[in-house]
Structure 1
Amino acid sequence: MKKILLFGLLFSFLISCSKDDSPANEGIYFPPNGSDVWETKSISDLGWNQDKLQPLLDSLQNNNTKSFIILHDGKIVVEHYFGTHTASSPWYWASAGKTLTSTVSGIAEQEGLININNKVSDYLGTGWTSAPLAKENLITCKNLLSMNSGLDDALGDDVSPANLQYVADAGTRWAYHNVYVKMQDVVAQASGQSWDNYFNAKLKNPIGMSGAWIQSGGLSVYWSNTRSMARFGLMIYAKGKWNSTQIVNENYLNAATNTSQNINQAYGYLWWLNGKSSYHLPQTQIQFNGTLIPNAPNDMFAALGKNDQKVYVVPSKKLVIIRMGDSADGTNFALSDFDNMLWGKINELIN
């Protein structure tokens, strides 16, 4: 009898030790791929303030929003479309899509195709900039992901060699610059595939996203429906997993969503970070003291795009929040006054 009991205890112990530690076993819900099914969770189940939902939606509508989603542990709590925009309507991610490039760069690194600490010219050859060769060879892939390449950010969106000119040594100056798109060329060259094909195979299809890269002003901009943006945010929230599949390495993702250089504390690998003591913004070399979005939780990190395209990820609150639309308060390139106002409304709902 004792032997049977001991065996039972040992068996239970071994089973508990072998359990998959995947997010699915931690209570995170993942919607099925290729389906419109997406489980929901009610505001009352979460103990949120139902009376504050309509003021939030009214504020979103009054600020040119087209779509808005709140996920809690992957399940939809709020999903609303404004005007003629629908669940199937595509919209552009603008610079929020930079985080797609960051993520796929991490996938390429985990597959051994690239090393982000290597210089860009290892993959693209020399002469991809107009910088002196010695200066060009200082620029690593990590510099592109961290926005500290040292190239001139005042010459417009064109990333041809003639427009990529030296200003400072790589790593010594932070400046928001479209040169990050060269990481797409790096991945394409290293993988022997087009950027679109590699992106589709490694990220878009595995997590069930819709959408496509569309050329605009010499840059490739991602367009999708709102739920596809939510799928991406959910995968990031789940530490790089989709169900039990590790899409992007968790260690890389941790680096991507923490300070990547010593100039702009609020910037990782193309991700914006809240809760830091200072930050820089696009098109300025000024350091601003204080946190990026005071009303948002300190652990929040975000993909921020022109005209207020937003992906907010808040691990401590189990939240992923999506906003697509036109500019709420005038043209902007990432952060705007709308972020803090919106988080004030969100706080009234969730607290």
Structure 2
Amino acid sequence: MSKSILLFFTLLLLTSCKKDTPNNPENDAAYYPGNDAAWETQSRSSLGWNEAALEDLKTFLRQKNTRSFMILVNGRIAVEEYFNGHTATTAWQWNSAGKTLVTATVGIAQQEGLLRINNSAAQYLGAGWTSAPPEKESMITPRHLLSMTSGLNDQYELVRPATLTYLADAGTRWSYHNVFQKLMDVVESAANQKFETYFNTRLRNKIGMEGFWANGVIFRVYHSNTRSMARFGLLALHKGKWNNEQVVDEAFFKESIAPSQNINPSYGYLWWLNGRAKHMVPGSQATFGGALVPNAPAGMYAAMGAEDQRLYVVPEKNMVVVRMGEVSDPANPRFAVSGFDAALWEKINAVIR
């Protein structure tokens, strides 16, 4: 046998061996669950995870008032746990983590030509939707609402014209603000239908989510079971793609998970971004050095809501992590970013490393 033929068969054998390795996450194609209850799993032993550390993670989750917790790898379930009577079918509130659902819906409306995020928001909301001077109001675009840079006064939680007073020119000040919910009105106006109807047909139903929007104390809040949040995380992991359909325009999605302005580079379009040189947090104008969650993967982007509702998307590990539940520390409740994230990632890292 010639050396060239021998080399060919050697390479073929090596390629075949690698391809046929069972449960190797590096070789598994991206998996999307169907719309039924079936969902493929990924064995933790095949991932080389520390099974002993998983028990410590579960103990931590119980102690921190968690109701449900999931980890997907390549779309497959590696961990799925429920606590305190919570089940796979129990609906729970996303709180501000649901802002990212609004982002995706705005992106879909733009790709359908119904709106443009750089147009004046008044084009969709009508003049006088704020109490700002007309020339200042006209400066505010949906993009400013997506990036939390409307310049409107953030003193009040309720969103109505009387409370939306001018504080700074749009684009010059970052402030975590409930005014984002006006984006739902933008979509309703542009699509000429209820936001929930548009959301359900263009996003929820396409990826097999179950859930509903309900009026909260301050704004409409999304409720779903844990797997539905994981489905959205999987869509986010693949930059808006589900199976063979680009549900959310890829360019828009990538824009959503990049810094939306220079004031707080750890914030995209209602997504929190890890691994940046500095960050700001809700309710403060202070700037802090370093990443949001220093011990979490640098490329992580996250949907974060009150009472520690969390959806972490980790591209470098093909991973999605979901945490739903009550506030982890009732004595120190925070909106969005909190010390809970670093404590949780300490436990996760012990399992996956």
Give the TM-score, by structure 2 length.
0.91
The Cα offsets for residues 299-333 of structure 1, whole Å up to 9 and x where unpaired, read as 00000000000000000011000000011123111
Alignment of 1:5-44 (within 5 A): 27-33=29-35, 35-44=36-45
Equivalent position of 1:117 in the other structure: 118
Instruction: Quote how far apart the aligned CAs of 1:239 are.
Output: 1.6
For 2:339 and 2:236, how far apart are their aligned partners in 1? Answer: 25
Q: Is residue 259–residue 273 contact of structure 2 (8 Å, CA) maintained in 1?
A: yes
Letter in 1 for 2:256: A
The question of 1:199 aligning with 2:199 is answered yes
The question of 1:334 aligning with 2:340 is answered no
Equivalent position of 2:273 in the other structure: 273
Instruction: Quote how far apart the aligned CAs of 1:218 are.
Output: 4.2
Letter in 2 for 1:315: P
For 1:331 and 1:55, how far apart are their aligned partners in 2? Answer: 23
Letter in 2 for 1:98: K
Alignment of 1:76-225 (within 5 A): 76-156=77-157, 158-225=158-225
Q: Any idea what SS the aligned residue of 1:307 has?
A: helix
Give the TM-score, by structure 1 length.
0.91
For 2:342 and 2:212, how far apart are their aligned partners in 1? Answer: 30
Q: Any idea what SS the aligned residue of 2:88 has?
A: coil
Equivalent position of 2:60 in the other structure: 59
Equivalent position of 2:11 in the other structure: none
For 2:340 and 2:61, how far apart are their aligned partners in 1? Answer: 10
Mean Cα deviation higher: 46-55 or 263-272: 46-55
For 2:258 and 2:50, how far apart are their aligned partners in 1? Answer: 32
Q: Is residue 28–residue 74 contact of structure 2 (8 Å, CA) maintained in 1?
A: no
Q: Is residue 259–residue 265 contact of structure 2 (8 Å, CA) maintained in 1?
A: yes
For 1:97 and 1:295, how far apart are their aligned partners in 2? Answer: 24
For 1:235 and 1:216, how far apart are their aligned partners in 2? Answer: 26
For 2:52 and 2:28, how far apart are their aligned partners in 1? Answer: 30
Q: Could you list the structure 1 runs, at least 4 aligned residues long, displaced by more than 2 angstroms after superposition.
A: none
For 2:218 and 2:346, how far apart are their aligned partners in 1? Answer: 37
Equivalent position of 2:247 in the other structure: 247
For 1:88 and 1:308, how far apart are their aligned partners in 2? Answer: 20
For 1:204 and 1:46, how far apart are their aligned partners in 2? Answer: 30
Instruction: Quote how far apart the aligned CAs of 1:124 are.
Output: 1.1
For 1:206 and 1:233, how far apart are their aligned partners in 2? Answer: 14
Letter in 1 for 2:199: F
Letter in 2 for 1:117: N
Q: Any idea what SS the aligned residue of 1:144 has?
A: helix
Q: 1:344 aligns with which of 340, 343, 346?
A: 346
Q: Any idea what SS the aligned residue of 1:231 has?
A: helix
The Cα offsets for residues 258-284 of structure 1, whole Å up to 9 and x where unpaired, read as 100110010000000000000000010
For 1:40 and 1:115, how far apart are their aligned partners in 2? Answer: 40
The Cα offsets for residues 86-129 of structure 1, whole Å up to 9 and x where unpaired, read as 11111000000000000100000111111101110011111000
**What fraction of aligned residue pairs are identical, expressed as a percent?**
53
Equivalent position of 2:71 in the other structure: 70
For 1:241 and 1:318, how far apart are their aligned partners in 2? Answer: 14
Q: Any idea what SS the aligned residue of 2:312 has?
A: strand
Specify whether residues 26 and 105 from structure 1 end up closer, same or farther in structure 2 by C-alpha distance, changes over 3 A only. farther
Letter in 1 for 2:97: A
Q: Is residue 295–residue 345 contact of structure 2 (8 Å, CA) maintained in 1?
A: yes
Letter in 2 for 1:86: T
Instruction: Quote how far apart the aligned CAs of 1:159 are.
Output: 1.0
Instruction: Quote how far apart the aligned CAs of 1:49 are.
Output: 1.0
Equivalent position of 2:236 in the other structure: 236
The Cα offsets for residues 14-73 of structure 1, whole Å up to 9 and x where unpaired, read as xxxxxxxxxxx981111101x110000011011111111110111011100000000001
Letter in 2 for 1:80: E
Equivalent position of 1:19 in the other structure: none
Q: Any idea what SS the aligned residue of 2:307 has?
A: coil
For 1:46 and 1:272, how far apart are their aligned partners in 2? Answer: 27
Equivalent position of 1:4 in the other structure: none
Q: Any idea what SS the aligned residue of 1:299 has?
A: coil
Letter in 2 for 1:334: A
Unaligned runs of 5+ in 2: 1-26
Letter in 2 for 1:244: N
Unaligned runs of 5+ in 1: 1-24
Letter in 2 for 1:126: A
